[in-house]
Amino acid sequence: MGESYDIVVIGTGVAAAPIARACRAAGWRVAVVDDRPFGGTCALRGCTPKKVLAHAAAVLDAATRLRGKGLADAGERIDWPALVAFKRGFTESVPAETERSFADQGIDGFHGPARFVGPRSLRVAGDRVLEARRIVVAGGAAPAKLPIEGGEHLAASDDFLELEALPRRIVFVGGGYIAFEFAHIAARAGARVTVLHRGERPLEGFDPDLVQLLVERTRAIGVDLRVGHEVTRVERNAQGFVLHARGPDGDEGFEADLAVHSAGRVPQLDALDLVAGGVERDGKRPKLNDYLQSVSNEAVYFAGDAGGRGLPLTPVAAADAEAVIANLLRGNAAKPDYTGTPSVVFTTPPLAGVGRLEHQARAEGLRFRVNHRRTADWFTARHAGEPCSGYKILIEEETERILGAHLVGPHADEVVNLFALAIRFGLSAQDLKRAILAFPTASHDIQSML
């Protein structure tokens, strides 16, 4: 018989930490387990450090765009080692502070992998076995395994964020948001960047017309973006790496000093031995009911990227945590509501979207109008010297509901939140038009979009 807890939470990030703390506040005996430094992906290996690097690249880009428009060339450049050191000022203290916070609240912390040895039992930290009335899996996601010979040579996004020096040649495998965000940073920092994407269109979860604008902008800053290029082999040599890809014109080789896996992430479940825990899977995801509870083991709940129910976003993980807390403490009644969840690619400029894409709305048979145009001539873009700017808004004919809002350009990452509020709380296009908004701001532009 192992040590006994009311609940064991696997993970210490955005989904896991609130669950552990809420259960402890309710008087439960709580343990957390993490095989990585405490704090989770967002704080240590994702949102926060990425945004620090992206902001520096955006500032440099803004100055570049305004040269000859009031700014003189002062020889601006990114000092990569200094930038990474600055970034660590946001991340280095997180593990110790998180661990201390858990201890102060009476939550026991265990380092190392967790593995089911029974429906309510986990082996952790070597040979210690923890028994629990409830187990929550909130350990995040991991890079998807790719069927590529030599795939072990690909660095993870975590590795990119910790680079002490920026390699001269970087190749990203996959054309998702990780590739675009890091490509925009690296190219502006002086690297020669290539993105190899297997499909015909990158950023498949975003509006294709606006993606095309961002693709043009991405190529304009020097990124060699190749679509229809499937990487088949990665080989290492004395000079670095060679990535072999099958493209429209046959096989090609791409040399790199660093090759990065940016082809998606999946729930981090393989090491858990879910079979031993009596937890059924549906491919790469666990089988869950509407309350984020395993359909085959009522003791186990999932939250955040580990559950794979919503988009792999920090706000979704927080929403999952809120629902799981309610279900653990008061019985199954809360279902996570992802209505109006915005998603952003933090490139320069950012690309953002919320609600339905145009093809989704048509597939549902909805009747709607599409407001769509490029807006490089609008003040918001023009005064910043940004040529990549546009929007597409889907408005239901009968109700004036906002069905979807898709933006690219300066401040798109902030403006999309107003559309997210409208979608979540049922505000109509007319409601947004009647609002009095500060001028001149990017948010004020929404009234012209409607």
In this prediction, residue 85 has a pLDDT band, given cuts at 50, 70 and 90, of very high
252: β partners: 245
Query: In 10 A of CB 194, how many CB atoms?
Result: 23
d(CA 278, CA 147): 29
Read off the pLDDT of residues 365-390 as tens digits, 9 standing for 90 and up: 999 999 999 999 999 999 999 999 99
* Mean pLDDT within 395-400: 97
- pLDDT, residue 310, reads 80
In this prediction, residue 391 has a pLDDT band, given cuts at 50, 70 and 90, of very high
d(CA 215, CA 370): 22
Read off the pLDDT of residues 308-349 as tens digits, 9 standing for 90 and up: 888 889 999 999 999 999 999 999 999 999 999 999 999 999
Angle at 298 between CA 293 and CA 301, to 5 degrees: 35
* Mean pLDDT within 43-71: 91
Please tell me whether residue 402 adopts helix, strand or coil conformation. Answer: strand
Cβ atoms of 132 and 28 closer than 8 Å: no
Element (H, E) at 377: none
d(CA 297, CA 333): 17
Beta strand spans in 216-280 (E): 224-227, 230-237, 240-247, 250-256, 258-261, 265-267
Which H, E and C letters describe 157-220, residue by residue?
A: HHHHHCCCCCCCEEEEECCCHHHHHHHHHHHHCCCEEEEEECCCCCCCCCCHHHHHHHHHHHHH
* Mean pLDDT within 22-46: 95
Query: In 10 A of CB 344, how many CB atoms?
Result: 20
- pLDDT, residue 127, reads 86
- pLDDT, residue 268, reads 86
428: β partners: 401
* Residues in contact with 121: Cβ distance below 8 Å, sequence separation at least 6, in sequence order: 2, 129, 130, 131, 132
Please tell me whether residue 388 adopts helix, strand or coil conformation. Answer: coil
- Which domains are present in the chain? 3-47+86-142+266-330 (3.50.50.60), 151-262 (3.50.50.60), 349-449 (3.30.390.30)
| Greater pLDDT, 269 or 8 | 8
Asked if pLDDT for residue 67 goes beyond 90, the answer is: no
Return the residue matching tokens 């393989």. Answer: 270
Cβ atoms of 277 and 118 closer than 8 Å: yes
Read off the pLDDT of residues 243-286 as tens digits, 9 standing for 90 and up: 999 999 999 999 999 999 999 888 889 899 999 999 999 988 99
Q: Is the pTM higher than 0.75?
A: yes
For CA atoms 168, 173, 175, 179, the dihedral sign is negative
- pLDDT, residue 274, reads 96
- pLDDT, residue 355, reads 98
d(CA 394, CA 232): 39
In this prediction, residue 74 has a pLDDT band, given cuts at 50, 70 and 90, of low
Return the residue matching tokens 């666990």. Answer: 286
d(CA 3, CA 21): 19
Cβ atoms of 99 and 39 closer than 8 Å: no
- pLDDT, residue 1, reads 55
Beta strand spans in 389-450 (E): 390-396, 402-408
- The tokens of 394 are what? 């889907």
Mean pLDDT for the chain overall = 95
d(CA 344, CA 412): 8
- The tokens of 173 are what? 């495998």
d(CA 261, CA 253): 17
In this prediction, residue 304 has a pLDDT band, given cuts at 50, 70 and 90, of very high
d(CA 239, CA 258): 10
What percent of the chain clears pLDDT 90, i.e. is strictly above it?
89
Query: In 10 A of CB 252, how many CB atoms?
Result: 14
Q: How far apart are the first and last CA of the chain?
A: 64
